[in-house]
Amino acid sequence: MADLDVVVVGAGFTGIYAVHALRSAGLTVRAFEAGEGIGGTWFWNCYPGARCDVESKDYSYAFSPELEQEWSWSERYPAQPEILRYLHHVADKFGLWPDLQLNTRVTACAWDADTSTWRVTTEPGATVTARFVVMGVGNLSQLHVPDLPGLDTFEGPWYHTSRWPKEGVDFSGQRVGLIGTGSTGIQIAPEIAAVAGHLYVFQRTANFAVPNRNRPWQDAEERAFKESYRDYRQEARQSILGVPVNGTGKAALETPADEREQVYRERWKAGGGMPFLGAFTDVLFVREANDTVADFMRDRIRETVADPEVAELLCPTGFPVGAKRLCQSDDYYAMFNSGHVTLVDIRSAPLESAYPGGLKTAADSYELDAIVFATGFDAITGPLFAIDIRGAGGVTLREAWAHGPRTYLGVAAAGFPNMFIVTGPGSPGVFSNMVLSIEQHVEWIRDCVAYLTSHGYGAVEATTAAQDEWMELVTGIAYATVFPLADSWYIGANIPGKPRVFTSYLGGVASYRERCDAVAAAGYEGFTLAPAR
């Protein structure tokens, strides 16, 4: 008999809700969390400026109307400390702490076919058995520090944004080098610039950023969304991205240029990325339509940045808007108008090495007191591969996915019975409001486990045929869009040697939910169910 019904790996938004949902279904469950606190991505990414780019009214659990009503978000886009406070509140309210085990990294999971259980090993070597494992490891938890020659000789401190010191860092008056201009780099740069003596931003690829227009919620706004929360959540479930977006319903290429410009201007004024991506029906499917957004955004950069050469360097080219995560900032571009901020183009003169006093590019040397890496993550598969997962016949997940991840519905993988992945490859995951997708996955997994238990089954495994069919669908949809047209982490392009495959389901959260529900209603079609031993 297994020690537990379910082991959950991670105590972020997934692990916290999984413990609550599975426990409420009468299962014994424990979440193991490597960090010394709960919160997952919001625990680790505590760098200055860390803030969610999905509105707080959306980026929150929907499972409890009471929670929804009692919690007050202070701002439109929640900052990292507030999200962490919210998650603590959830853990307190639902009494989850006894089943959230912190400071415990899961290092290995091995399937035992004789007993239909997983043997889960945690650092420093304790083991526990469970009927099921739920991977709530997140998509962006395995950080990436580029292999930079000489970094060990650098005499100052260096930091990765995803392991920011909890006590903070004082950059007052210092010369700071920031490498990376993705969502993270764009968020942290103005915060560093506000105190540093000089900030050097090392940019390899310019990125699109739209204004946040962050602000406190007005009482009347909060009252309004709380009054209609049930309907609003339902609307979110029926959307594409998991957030209701007010699109025009028209194609950009069939809209007169002045009308299109007006739509973009309104959205620029209102702030937020999703309204841009959802403004017209063809923006994410037709490159020429996407170019109309890109041109508009490049014009805003040129309008904001005083030095025309710097402005041109900051103008993204070569990939569609949204194909790399659309960044949000109210002050990133304007920051380059300060005399103490320098944009260093490492596309034309690559970063070569660190030396005791700073960083060296092919063109110049930069004397620095500190270096900040905002260089992202070995995304999606990285956090799963960090665990030695061995399924049927001892095959590792790494071996099974050597040419890229393969799943059925994003939640299960052939060869790995009784293992569920939350917001993994093959799901809408990173292309959706994560909290909404997490709740949908966790509830589907809870219902699946309940079904197996009540029908006398002990094991569930995706068939290879169902998995192949699903991945073909996922790939077919993805390559009909502009998303695979960028060298992004979505496609694995940011990690040298990683297979370049696009594995997110882009059909939208509504159709995805429908399919998952249909599979369940048909007695878990596409899965092999084995009797309990």
Q: Which residue lies nearer to ligand N01 by CB, 14 or 184?
A: 184
Tell the smallest beta-carbon distance from residue 327 to ligand N01 (Å). 7
One of 27, 128, 130, 140 touching ligand N01 (CB under 6 A) = 140
* Interface residue with ligand N01, options 375, 381, 418, 437 (CB under 6 A): 375
CB of 61 to ligand N01, least distance (A): 17
- Which residue sits closest to ligand N01, CB atoms considered? 182
Edge-to-edge strands, sheet with 175-179: 158-160, 370-373, 175-179, 198-203, 341-345
Q: Which of 56, 117, 181, 381 binds ligand N01 (CB under 6 A)?
A: 181
The minimum distance between CB 438 and ligand N01, in angstroms, equals: 15
From residue 85 to residue 124, the character string flagging contacts with ligand N01 as x (rule: CB under 6 A) and all else as - is ----------------------------------------
Please select the residue that binds ligand N01; options are 60, 187, 437, 504, rule is CB under 6 A. 187
CA distances 150 to 103, 155, 347, 354, 355, Å, are 32, 10, 20, 5, 6
State in angstroms the smallest separation of the CB of 325 from ligand N01. 3
Question: Could you tell me the smallest distance in angstroms from the CB atom of residue 99 to ligand N01?
Answer: 28
Specify the residue, 286 or 506, whose C-beta has the smaller distance to ligand N01.
Answer: 506
For the four alpha carbons of 396, 399, 405 and 407, in that order, the dihedral sign comes to negative
Kindly tell me which of 305 and 323 has the beta carbon lying closer to ligand N01: 323
Query: Would you say 233 and 62 are in contact if contact means Cβ atoms under 8 Å apart?
Result: yes
Amino acid at the residue 525: E
Stretch touching ligand N01 by CB under 6 A, among 275-283, 302-310, 330-338, 375-383: 375-383
By CB under 6 A, what part of segment 33-92 binds ligand N01? 51-53
With CA atoms as reference, report the closest residue to 35 among 144, 133, 164.
164
Choose the binding region for ligand N01 from 217-225, 294-302, 370-378, 460-468 (rule: CB under 6 A).
370-378
Q: What x-and-dash track marks residues 205-244 binding ligand N01 by CB under 6 A?
A: x---------------------------------------
Residue type, 351: L
| Alpha carbon separation from 349 to 39, 107, 371 (Å, rounded) | 39, 40, 18
43 in Cβ contact with 37 (< 8 Å): yes
Residues forming a β-bridge with 351: 361
Residues 468-507 contacting ligand N01, CB under 6 A: 489, 494
| Helical ranges in 94-182 per DSSP H | none
Can residue 22 be called a binding residue for ligand N01 (CB under 6 A)?
A: no
In this structure, are residues 56 and 73 in contact, taking their beta carbons and an 8 Å threshold? yes
- Name residues whose C-beta falls within 8 Å of residue 205's C-beta, 6 or more positions apart in sequence: 181, 316, 324, 347, 487
CB of 344 to ligand N01, least distance (A): 10
Give the range of 14-22, 151-159, 291-299, 369-377 binding ligand N01 by CB under 6 A. 369-377
- Contact string (CB under 6 A) for ligand N01, positions 413-432, x = contact: --------------------
Q: Which one of 94-102, 180-188, 355-363, 438-446 is the stretch in contact with ligand N01 (CB under 6 A)?
A: 180-188
Distance CA 174, CA 58 (A): 38
Task: Looking at residues 311 to 340 of the shown chain, list those that interact with ligand N01 (rule: CB under 6 A).
Answer: 325, 328
Q: Distance between CA 151 and CA 355 in Å, rounded?
A: 7
Kind and range of the H or E element at 525?
A: none
Structure-block tokens of residue 275: 């309204």
Quote the CA–CA distance of 149 and 236 in Å, as a whole number: 47
Q: In angstroms, what is the minimal distance from the CB of 319 to ligand N01?
A: 9
- Helix, strand, coil percent values for the chain (each to nearest 5): 35, 20, 45
Closest CA to 440 of 17, 131, 11: 17
Q: Which stretch binds ligand N01 (CB under 6 A): 110-118, 174-182, 407-415, 512-520?
A: 174-182
CA atoms within 13 A on the CB side of 8: 33
Peptide bond into 81 cis (omega under 30): no
| Angstrom distance (rounded) from CA 415 to CA 412 | 9
Options 204, 302, 498, 515; binder of ligand N01; rule CB under 6 A: 204
**Residues touching ligand N01, count (CB under 6 A):** 25
- Choice from 185, 316, 320, 424 touching ligand N01 (CB under 6 A): 185
In the complex, the residues that contact ligand N01 under the rule CB under 6 A are 51-53, 140, 146, 179-185, 187, 204-205, 325, 328, 346, 351, 374-377, 489, 494
